[in-house]
Structure 1
Amino acid sequence: MINLRPATPDDLELLKYWDEQPHVIASDPNDDWHWEVELHRNPHWREQLIAEMDGHPIGFVQIIDPALEESHYWGEIPSNLRAIDIWIGKETDLGKGYGTKMMKLALERCFSDKKVSAVLVDPLKDNTRAHRFYENLGFKFIESRYFGDDHCFVYCLERNFYQQVIHDNMTQSVDILG
């Protein structure tokens, strides 16, 4: 059972440890998350979440409103969107379906707000594993774009596709399992 809970200052050492893992650095080499500061802040435009499996932390998810986010990382962007960052903490936990479950929980959170029309992600251009991951979840490639020094691919999952495919499949899976 995987769930998402708010990240707190008590997660500082864990997040710093995960941030130093080679597979995390490879997917996000140029960002400093400023954990010491950011874990004490709870701006209305952001959620920082720890994914836990049976009470044990396995990953991190950040959901932002890119139109309201303070650094304007996404530039000029329409309202009613969300952007997600996600990673698994330990490399040994990759490829086990945890990321898929985490992403589905994050998407549920995003689309629970009826105003949200789409969700964005921005994996590095050369991170083909991440491209397949997002494409398998229904995200569509939008553009190749630089964010600072990082050459990224921007993907988008629109609400109508999410409702037709992802959400319905999740509901059916829950119904089948009882």
Structure 2
Amino acid sequence: MLRLRPYKPDDAGYLMDWLKDERTVRLWRADRFSYPLTKEQLEQYWEDFLSDENAWIFLAVDESGKPCGHFSFRRVDYAKNSAHMGFIVVNPKERGKGYGREMVTLALRYAFGFLRMERVTLGVFTVNEAAHRCYLSVGFKDEELHRDYDCFDGEPWDYQDMAALKDDFKEAVFPV
């Protein structure tokens, strides 16, 4: 069972440990971070989110309180009832346990239940097949596909916009 808690600056070490190689950083970075990931980059990330009233960073922790995942919400738009989810990562040592699916489900419960959003978006490189399958499994649907959006090591990467709608969400949403 996972729980969500706010990200703290001291959590930077977890992200630097989970995002060690250039390819993984490129899959995660959304043009914000460069390889190698540094404490300074993550401090700036924290400060930027702290000063943005429409953005939050979360950590997912396991039963013992040990961090095992990370994501954020940004571009929260109360007029349009939408939010964008990003910077999603699960500790590589914990993958294959369903933590990604559980964390994204909890994130959607938060967005739909507590923030009362109607729509949550995210983007994923299609070469990240496991992440794409995870998002589909919790209710995200493919929207616009951006061909040759990026390139890594001579390999062109397509980028898939995805969205989940509150009305289609199958999991229980906590009442507010």
Tell me the TM-score normalised to structure 2 length.
0.76
> Residues 29-178 of structure 1 correspond to what in structure 2 (within 5 A)?
30-32=31-33, 34-40=41-47, 41-42=49-50, 43-53=52-62, 54-65=64-75, 67=77, 79-85=80-86, 86-89=88-91, 91-113=92-114, 115-145=116-146, 149=150, 151-162=158-169, 165-167=170-172
Give the length in aligned residue pairs.
158
* SS of equivalent residue, structure 1 residue 39: helix
Counterpart-to-counterpart distance in 2, 1:58 and 1:22: 20
Tell me how far apart the structure 2 counterparts of residues 104 and 88 of structure 1 sit (CA, whole Å).
14
After alignment, is 14-23 or 104-113 more displaced? 14-23
Structure 1: gaps (5+ residues): 69-77, 171-178
Counterpart CA distance in 1 for 2:18 and 2:93 is 12
Task: Note if contact 1:82-1:118 (Cα within 8 Å) is conserved in structure 2.
Answer: yes
Cα RMSD between the aligned structures? Answer: 2.9
TM-score for the superposition, normalised by structure 1:
0.75
Contact residue 12 and residue 39 of structure 1 kept, 8 A: no
Query: 1-side partners of 2:147 and 2:20: how far apart?
Result: 23
Structure with bigger strand share is: 2
Correspondence for 1:175: none
Question: Which ranges in structure 2 are unaligned for 5 or more consecutive residues?
Answer: 35-40, 151-156
The secondary structure found in structure 1 opposite 2:97 is coil
Deviation at 1:26, TM superposition (A): 5.7
